[in-house]
């Protein structure tokens, strides 16, 4: 039974029993405390916590998940994986144990011909929590599981909670007996390799207070409504149903693994090392494909860092397998898309975007490997020169952080040189960096607020803040939450920085690339709050950040919220312009030019999109012309809500990686652009006035950025450019249309003149070679030349002069030192004849003496070396130091 069929049967079974089938949420978690969705129940937490009303009391899903704490173990074992899918059925205050337990048993044991999984009843064992007599009784008396196959376990194994105050309860797990060839008899309490867990049923029945650890917490009482949360690992179930030993041999992963073996000339099962690498590649390519499909981009922090690490581990292991060519990731990504496409059709529709991102990361990393290897060799040389046997953690971290060099590669290459690596120092620096990144991302969104405080604010707002900003730019409300320094307070006085929650608001919270509204909140008691930022740290919660300008703000006060109208209008123009430019790029470059981010600010916007390389200037001009023609037509801009399926059917563009609910908001600009969007927009395209594209550049692997102006800012920019062009035309005495050719000619002549000047300067520098050699100072039988060249002399000319003078003194023991200041920093070159080297004088050692005096460093060979420093005033000291060293030889 293929994986897609396993998921289909699970969802169909529960749909027939009154469950709403909920599509998988994005891997990008709404929960600000999580980087990625790591469990099937994560999207349902707001329902379990009472923060949101569920669309149905019974729900079921096949949820995409990524877990990375054990990423280094992936491949080394057949149990660890980063991406997995969790099948689950959920009851919010509906059925409880008496419903969940029979459901699970029926689906597992029903014959496959009747839509079940066909497990023999005698092969199934169950565990229950020690004190859960109710669950044990249902298994024994209602389902009919023999007492001997029902085992009791403690808190560590059979009790669930979220690690924080909230719901919790006992759980019951179902295990499949794979047979005596896999281990000892005696049930899951004896051997969990033989008895494989296939399903976990969580019975949320208690309200937990303080949670100190997995097994140490306080139970405050019963929940007002009991809930069910279950989870079945799709990959593990597929392995059993397909009769294979582990998840890497199931249909989806095995297809990627086999293709990787074919591309690299290896074979799975031949030896442990290649097996590990093939498993890493199979898991990571699938994980990376799914993450990119959800809009995550490779980066050096947060979830982007997780993706980058996963992709680079794949590329690294392909190289270990012998795959040296570029393009291997493209081949494997295509296999992953095909393997997972039946379950997730969006992989197929966004395949071009996925390939663009992953191909670019592969190309970048292959270059990184080349660059990093050179840097690594230098670090090894420095370590050995100092007599060390361990590469410093700081060096390993720099290789990783600056050059993208993976630590496993550093460890392997260090071992080849007989060195160890300070892994603890490296991992300490990595932990510090990750904590900073997580804090930065969390603070932006939550403002350092504790999640429990956010929950309280959401409750105070009645479960969800009513956003009225699409229709109104001001409105009456009530102040329901007030925070100072992240803590709930009843009041705040003049000058205090505050965070405010209203029960309804016209203020747009930053999101979808659109900057937050600014404005004022006037309270009924006369107090005024100036709003400078608006965020939505939890779904349904809108937090206004600002300062109490006058009076005292108090919770419960009536309020009148007023958005800064001009700022909102300017931002709305930018947002509508972004939609139109996006449409223009897709028309010009194809569907692969997918939006990868944006920022809509007053009068200015930027638009990021996926592309394999730079967009020609002529294409940019054509797109700009096309969009401005659309503006002139003054098309109607309208927004409406519809179902996600209907929006897709009408061709509405769902942005790559965005999360959408069943109902979506569609924004249309005539027939030119149609996108799913929650932002604010103008009423007609003509209100934009003008769009001026400023330029295009790269901002990362496979991602380009266009910046543009809109409205009066675009007109002002063109007016300034017009004045500048007129001034240039006047200066060069040419018509405006002749400027490009005329300026090109001037630049060419300047470059030729600069080349001639360089030749003259070099000739002047070298012209003194004879007189310098003739004037060499005799120091104990060694001819010494110490010369400072004129400032601005190129370093290459300094080197040529030193070699020329040395050539004139070849018949004698001689040391030639030439120094100068090419570009603000002093450079020194020392050339030594063979006779001087026989006297023990070496250019590299002498340069070290000079460079130390200059406040820098340097090195080279015995006959010729170069160095530099940061203190031009110390050149005289450097000359004296080298002369002294020559005399002491």
Q: Which helix (DSSP H) or strand (DSSP E) does residue 522 occupy?
A: strand 519-523
d(CA 410, CA 315): 15
What is the β-pairing status of strands 20-22 and 58-66?
parallel
Contact by Cβ (8 Å): 523, 554: yes
Inter-CA distances, 655 with 538, 741, 820, Å: 21, 43, 57
Computed on alpha carbons and rounded to an integer, the radius of gyration of the chain in Å comes to: 35
Contacts of 180 (CB under 8 A, 6+ apart): 194
End-to-end CA distance of the chain: 84
- Pairing relation of β-strands 663-669 and 673-676? antiparallel
Taking residue 500's Cβ as centre, other Cβ atoms within 10 Å add up to 29
Instruction: Please work out, in degrees rounded to the nearest 5, the angle formed at the alpha carbon of residue 458 by the alpha carbons of 456 and 459.
Output: 65
Q: Are 465 and 501 in contact (CB under 8 A)?
A: yes
392-402 burial code (b ≥16 CB/10 A, e <16): bbebbbbbbee
Quick one: which of 584, 565, 578, 533 has its CA closest to 677? 578
**Sign of CA pseudo-dihedral 494, 500, 513, 476:** negative
Residue 402: CB partners within 8 Å, gap ≥ 6?
none
Closest CA to 408 of 372, 433, 354, 457: 372
| φ, ψ (nearest 5 deg) of residue 671 | -100, 5
- Residues linked to residue 610 through DSSP beta bridges, in sequence order: 703
201 CB neighbour count, 10 Å cutoff = 25
Record the tokens describing residue 114, joined without a space. 């009747």
Residue 195 · residue 175 · CB < 8 Å: yes
How far is 123 from 178, CA to CA, in rounded Å?
8
What gap in Å lies between CA 865 and CA 886, rounded to an integer?
A: 15
Residue 731: other Cβ atoms inside 10 A: 11
Both tokens of 32, joined, read 């600000």
677 is in an annotated binding site: yes
How far is it, in rounded angstroms, from Cα 19 to Cα 91?
Answer: 9
Task: Say whether 575 counts as a known binding-site residue.
Answer: yes
Kindly compute the dihedral angle of the four CA atoms of residues 745, 750, 756, 760, in this order, to the nearest 10 degrees.
160
579 in a labelled binding site: yes
Nearest to 835 by CA among 859, 799, 863: 863
Q: Which two tokens stand for residue 631?
A: 């503006």
Counting every residue written for the chain, the total comes to: 889
Helix (H, G, I), strand (E, B) or coil at 831: strand
Query: What's the token pair of residue 817?
Result: 């030192």
CA torsion 351-357-360-362 (nearest 10°) is -80
Backbone angles phi, psi at 127, to 5 degrees: -120, 150
State whether the Cα torsion 421-422-424-429 is positive or negative. Answer: negative
| Closest alpha carbon to 4 in 248, 260, 221, 234 | 234
d(CA 587, CA 717): 26
Alpha-carbon distance of 159 to 112, in angstroms, equals 32
Say how far apart CA 491 and CA 489 lie, in whole Å.
6
Residue ranges of the binding site: 575, 579, 677, 681
Residue ranges of the binding site for Zn(2+): 575, 579, 677, 681
């Amino acid at each position: 039974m293929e994986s897609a069929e396993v998921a289909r049967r699970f969802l169909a079974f529960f749909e027939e029993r009154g469950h709403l089938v909920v599509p998988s949420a994005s891997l990008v978690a709404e929960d600000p405390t999580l980087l990625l969705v790591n469990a099937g129940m994560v999207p349902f937490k707001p329902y379990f916590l009472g923060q949101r009303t569920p669309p149905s009391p019974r729900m079921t899903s096949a949820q995409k998940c990524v877990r990375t704490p054990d990423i280094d173990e992936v491949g080394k074992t057949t149990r660890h994986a980063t991406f997995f899918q969790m099948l689950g059925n959920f009851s919010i205050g509906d059925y409880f144990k008496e419903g969940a337990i029979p459901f699970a048993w029926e689906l597992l044991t029903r014959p496959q011909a009747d839509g079940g999984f066909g497990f023999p009843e005698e092969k199934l064992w169950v565990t229950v929590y020690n004190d859960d007599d109710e669950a044990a009784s249902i298994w024994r008396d209602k389902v009919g599981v023999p007492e001997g196959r029902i085992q009791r376990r403690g808190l560590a194994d059979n009790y669930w909670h979220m690690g924080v105050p909230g719901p919790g309860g006992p759980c019951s797990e179902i295990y499949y007996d794979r047979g005596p060839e896999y281990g000892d008899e005696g049930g899951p309490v004896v051997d969990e390799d033989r008895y494989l867990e296939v399903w976990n049923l969580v019975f949320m029945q208690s309200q937990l207070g303080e949670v100190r650890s997995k097994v140490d917490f306080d139970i405050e009482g019963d929940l007002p409504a009991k809930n069910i949360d279950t989870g079945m690992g799709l990959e593990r179930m597929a392995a059993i149903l397909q009769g294979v030993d582990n998840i890497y041999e199931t249909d989806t992963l095995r297809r990627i693994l086999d293709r990787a073996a074919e591309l690299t000339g290896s074979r799975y099962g031949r030896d442990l090392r290649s097996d590990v690498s093939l498993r890493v590649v199979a898991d990571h390519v699938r994980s990376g494909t799914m993450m990119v499909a959800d809009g995550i981009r490779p980066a050096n922090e947060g979830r982007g860092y997780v993706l980058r690490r996963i992709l680079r581990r794949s590329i690294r292991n392909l190289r270990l397998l012998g795959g040296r060519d570029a393009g291997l990731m493209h081949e494997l990504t295509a296999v992953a898309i095909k393997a997972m496409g039946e379950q997730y059709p969006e992989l197929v529709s966004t395949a071009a975007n996925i390939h663009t991102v992953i191909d670019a990361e592969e190309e970048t990393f292959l270059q990184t490997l080349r660059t990093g290897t050179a840097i690594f060799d230098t670090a090894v040389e420095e370590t050995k020169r100092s007599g060390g046997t361990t590469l410093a953690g700081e060096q390993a971290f720099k290789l990783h952080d600056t050059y993208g060099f993976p630590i496993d590669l550093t460890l392997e290459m260090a071992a080849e040189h007989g060195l160890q690596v300070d892994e603890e120092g490296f991992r300490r620096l990595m932990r510090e960096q990750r904590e900073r990144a997580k804090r930065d991302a969390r603070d932006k969104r939550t403002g350092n607020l504790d999640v429990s405080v956010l929950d309280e604010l959401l409750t105070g707002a009645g479960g969800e803040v009513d956003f009225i900003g699409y229709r109104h730019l001001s409105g009456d409300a009530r102040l329901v939450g007030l925070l100072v320094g992240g803590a709930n307070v009843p009041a705040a006085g003049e000058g205090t920085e505050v965070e405010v929650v209203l029960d309804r608001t016209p203020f747009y919270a930053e999101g979808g690339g659109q900057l937050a509204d600014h404005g004022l909140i006037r309270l009924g008691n006369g107090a005024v709050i100036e709003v400078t930022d608006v965020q939505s740290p939890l779904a349904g919660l809108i937090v206004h950040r600002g300062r109490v300008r006058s009076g005292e703000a108090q919770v419960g006060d009536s309020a009148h919220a007023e958005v800064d109208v001009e700022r909102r209008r300017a931002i709305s123009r930018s947002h509508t312009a972004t939609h139109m430019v996006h449409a223009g790029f897709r028309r010009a470059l194809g569907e692969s030019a997918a939006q990868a981010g944006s920022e809509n600010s007053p009068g200015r916007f930027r638009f990021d999109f996926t592309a394999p390389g730079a967009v020609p200037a002529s294409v940019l001009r054509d797109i700009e012309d096309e969009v401005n023609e659309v503006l002139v037509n003054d098309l109607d801009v309208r927004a409406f809500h519809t179902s996600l399926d209907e929006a897709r059917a009408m061709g509405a563009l769902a942005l790559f990686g965005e999360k959408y609910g069943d109902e979506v908001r569609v924004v249309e600009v005539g027939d030119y652009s149609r996108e799913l969007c929650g932002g604010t927009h103008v009423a007609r395209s003509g209100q934009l006035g003008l769009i001026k594209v400023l330029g295009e550049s790269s901002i990362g692997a496979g991602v380009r950025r266009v910046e543009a102006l809109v409205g009066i800012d675009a007109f002002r920019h063109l007016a300034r450019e017009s004045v500048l062009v007129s001034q240039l035309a006047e200066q060069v005495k040419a018509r405006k249309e002749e400027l490009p050719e005329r300026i090109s000619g001037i630049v060419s002549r300047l470059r030729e003149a600069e080349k001639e000047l360089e030749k003259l300067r070099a000739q002047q520098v070298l012209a003194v070679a004879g007189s310098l050699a003739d004037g060499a100072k005799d120091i104990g039988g060694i001819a010494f030349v110490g010369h400072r060249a004129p400032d601005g002399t190129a370093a290459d000319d300094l080197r040529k002069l030193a070699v020329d003078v040395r050539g004139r003194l070849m018949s004698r023991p001689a040391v030639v030192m030439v120094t100068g200041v090419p570009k603000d920093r002093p450079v020194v070159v020392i050339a030594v004849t063979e006779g001087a080297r026989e006297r023990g004088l070496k250019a590299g050692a002498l340069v070290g003496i000079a460079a130390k005096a200059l406040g820098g460093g340097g090195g080279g060979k015995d006959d010729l070396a170069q160095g530099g420093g940061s203190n031009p005033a110390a050149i005289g000291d450097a000359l004296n130091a080298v002369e002294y060293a020559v005399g002491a030889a």
